[in-house]
Amino acid sequence: MPAKHNMITTVSLESGVFPVKVFFERRQSARAAVGTKQLILRCPLYLSKPQKAQTWSWFMDWLRKVEAEQPDAFNHLKLKEYRSGSSLRVGKRTYTIIIEEANRKTVGGRLEKDRLQVFLPKGTDPRQASKAIKTVLSRLVARDFLPEIKQRVYELNEQHFGKKIADVRLKYNTSNWGSCSSNQIINLSTRLLFAPQRVIDYVIVHELAHLIEANHSKKYWKLVEERMPEYREYEQWLKKNGRMYDF
């Protein structure tokens, strides 16, 4: 048996069916979490069948308790249904989503003014279609917003830091809101476009500060606080509301 392995499954709750990733690891006890893409169960590596059943029962009890106490806790994991003709509001812009199936092998998209057109191969599986549509919408919206986001990054850099920036990029990312690479590239998640402008500014300042301090040391946080004294308010806002912002 390998040192660790994992499996993908689903679980049915009152609020819907959700994906679960189960990790079998070298650990003493089980641990559960609500991830950004799936529910997570981490189990000890060597378990007998009765122990596995007991662990799963504990996991289900934990999920039901979370669901009862936080009815919206799993909403971001539901399979999203996109309908042709529906609207998508991002910031101050409202787009109309147009979905077309055609005799093609790949997924594609096109932005025409306020229309986000997505092209799917005929007969695409619903879960694959949902994922593909989200990816295309994110890329098209990123293309539309990139000029003004770049402008804002350069404005805040000139105002607060005056450092060299190699490039600014928008890409779909669920693991963080932004990053600053070692070669001075500022990356921002397209999910951030749903947030209020002041929160967007905070994430930009957060990443720009990494042009001076690469880590999250006390010196780094002092840089951030000097530029944005209320930064903790925006940190908490993202922790509380971040799951709601997605395509």
Res 1: pLDDT: 45
Structural domain boundaries, residue 70? 5-77
Do 149 and 37 share a structural domain?
A: no
Domain boundary among 77, 97, 115: 77
Q: Using CA of residue 96, residue 143, residue 37, residue 200, what is the dihedral sign? A: negative
CATH number at residue 127: 3.30.2010.10
Query: CA angle, corner 166, sides to 198 and 196, nearest 5?
Result: 10
Alpha helices in the chain (DSSP H): 49-69, 126-160, 197-209, 218-227, 231-241
Do 93 and 73 share a structural domain?
A: no
Whether residue 82 lies inside any domain: the answer is: no
Number of domains in the chain: 2
Do 209 and 98 share a structural domain?
A: yes
Domain boundary among 77, 101, 120: 77
Print pLDDT tens along the chain (247 aa).
455 678 888 888 888 878 899 999 989 999 999 998 889 999 999 899 999 999 999 999 999 999 999 988 898 887 777 899 999 999 999 999 999 998 999 999 999 989 999 999 998 877 688 889 999 999 999 999 999 999 999 999 999 999 999 999 999 988 899 999 999 999 999 999 999 999 999 999 999 999 999 999 999 999 999 999 999 999 999 998 887 888 8
Whether residue 73 lies inside any domain: the answer is: yes
- Give dist(CA 98, CA 204) in Å, integer: 32
> Model pTM?
0.72
Q: Which residue has the tokens 């971001």?
A: 76
